Structure 1
Amino acid sequence: MKIVADPIDRLLLDDFQRNFPITARPFAELAKALEITEDDVLDRLSKMQNSGRITRVGATCAPNTVSASTLAAVAAPDERIEEVAAIIGQEPGVNHSYEREDEWNLWFVATGPDRAHVDASLARIEERTGLRVLALRLVRPFNVDLGFRLNGGEGTRGAPPAAKQADCSALRPGDQDILQLLTKGMPIVAQPYAALAETLNRSEASVLERVDRLVDSGIIARLGVIVRHRALGWRSNAMVVWDLSPDQITVAGPKLAAQPGITLCYERTPVEGVWPYRLYSMIHARSRGEALEALENAAKLPELQGVRHQALFSTRCFKQTGAMITAPKESAA
Structure 2
Amino acid sequence: MNGPTDPVFRLLNDYQRGFPLLPRPFLAIGQKVGLTEEAVLDSYRRFLAEGVVSRIGAVLPPRRVGVSTLAALAVPVSDLERVAALVTARAQVNHNYQREHDFNLWFVLAARNEEALAEQLREITRESACPLISLPLRESFHIDLGFDLAGGCKHVQPNAAALTERACALPELERSLLAALEPGLAVESRPFKVLGDRVGLSEDFTLELLGRWLAEGLIKRLGVVVRHHELGYTANAMCVWDVPDEDVSAVGRALAGETGITLCYRRQRAQPHWPYNLFCMIHGKAREEVLALRADLARRHGLDVHPHAVLFSTRRFKQQGARYLAGACHA
**Normalising by the residue count of structure 2, what TM-score does the alignment of the two structures yield?**
0.92
Kept in 2, the 8 Å contact 1:113–1:325? The answer is: yes
Larger mean Cα displacement after TM superposition, 174-183 or 36-45: 174-183
- Give the drift of 1:92: 1.8
Distance, in Å, in 2 between the alignment partners of 1:17 and 1:44 is: 15
- Give the drift of 1:161: 7.0
- Give the drift of 1:115: 1.5
One-letter code of the match for 2:159?
A
Aligned partner of 1:100 in structure 2 is 99
DSSP-derived class of the 1:148 partner = coil
Cα 1:170/1:273, change in 2 over 3 Å:
closer
Where structure 1 has 5 or more consecutive residues not aligned to the other structure, the ranges are none
Cα 1:23/1:275, change in 2 over 3 Å:
same
Distance, in Å, in 2 between the alignment partners of 1:207 and 1:15 is: 23
- Give the drift of 1:122: 0.9
DSSP-derived class of the 2:296 partner = helix
Aligned partner of 1:304 in structure 2 is 303
- Give the drift of 1:141: 0.8
Kept in 2, the 8 Å contact 1:93–1:324? The answer is: yes
One-letter code of the match for 2:47?
M
1:150-161 to structure 2, matched below 5 A, reads 150-152=149-151
Aligned partner of 2:221 in structure 1 is 222
Cα 1:153/1:131, change in 2 over 3 Å:
closer
Aligned partner of 2:118 in structure 1 is 119
- Give the drift of 1:304: 2.1
Distance, in Å, in 1 between the alignment partners of 2:160 and 2:256 is: 14
Render the CA deviation track for 1:68-120: whole Å, top value 9, x for unaligned: 11000011111111111112112221111000001110000111111111111
Distance, in Å, in 2 between the alignment partners of 1:330 and 1:212 is: 20
One-letter code of the match for 1:80?
D
Kept in 1, the 8 Å contact 2:98–2:315? The answer is: yes
Distance, in Å, in 2 between the alignment partners of 1:266 and 1:273 is: 20
Cα 1:317/1:3, change in 2 over 3 Å:
farther
Q: Which runs of 4+ in 1 moved over 6 A?
A: 2-6, 164-170
DSSP-derived class of the 1:220 partner = coil
DSSP-derived class of the 2:272 partner = coil
DSSP-derived class of the 1:109 partner = strand
One-letter code of the match for 1:163?
N
Aligned partner of 2:263 in structure 1 is 264
One-letter code of the match for 2:188?
V
Cα 1:242/1:44, change in 2 over 3 Å:
same
Cα 1:242/1:214, change in 2 over 3 Å:
same
Render the CA deviation track for 1:121-146: whole Å, top value 9, x for unaligned: 11111101111210100101111124
Aligned partner of 1:143 in structure 2 is 142
Distance, in Å, in 2 between the alignment partners of 1:3 and 1:79 is: 44
Percent identity reads 36
DSSP-derived class of the 1:300 partner = helix
Kept in 1, the 8 Å contact 2:44–2:187? The answer is: yes
**Normalising by the residue count of structure 1, what TM-score does the alignment of the two structures yield?**
0.91
DSSP-derived class of the 1:238 partner = strand
Q: How many residues align?
A: 327
Aligned partner of 1:246 in structure 2 is 245
Kept in 2, the 8 Å contact 1:93–1:118? The answer is: no
- The answer on 1:7 being equivalent to 2:6 is yes
Larger mean Cα displacement after TM superposition, 163-172 or 178-187: 163-172
One-letter code of the match for 2:115?
A
- The answer on 1:163 being equivalent to 2:163 is no
Distance, in Å, in 2 between the alignment partners of 1:25 and 1:239 is: 39
Cα 1:18/1:162, change in 2 over 3 Å:
farther
Distance, in Å, in 2 between the alignment partners of 1:310 and 1:234 is: 21
DSSP-derived class of the 2:81 partner = helix
Distance, in Å, in 2 between the alignment partners of 1:255 and 1:171 is: 35
Aligned partner of 2:292 in structure 1 is 293
Kept in 2, the 8 Å contact 1:71–1:136? The answer is: yes
- Give the drift of 1:302: 3.1
One-letter code of the match for 2:133?
L
- Give the drift of 1:209: 1.1
Aligned partner of 1:324 in structure 2 is 323
1:70-109 to structure 2, matched below 5 A, reads 70-109=69-108
One-letter code of the match for 1:71?
L
Aligned partner of 2:209 in structure 1 is 210
- Give the drift of 1:329: 5.7
Kept in 1, the 8 Å contact 2:60–2:221? The answer is: yes
Aligned partner of 1:128 in structure 2 is 127
Kept in 2, the 8 Å contact 1:76–1:106? The answer is: yes
Distance, in Å, in 2 between the alignment partners of 1:4 and 1:316 is: 29
DSSP-derived class of the 1:21 partner = coil
DSSP-derived class of the 2:230 partner = coil
Cα 1:135/1:170, change in 2 over 3 Å:
closer
Kept in 1, the 8 Å contact 2:156–2:257? The answer is: no
Where structure 2 has 5 or more consecutive residues not aligned to the other structure, the ranges are none
- Give the drift of 1:274: 1.6
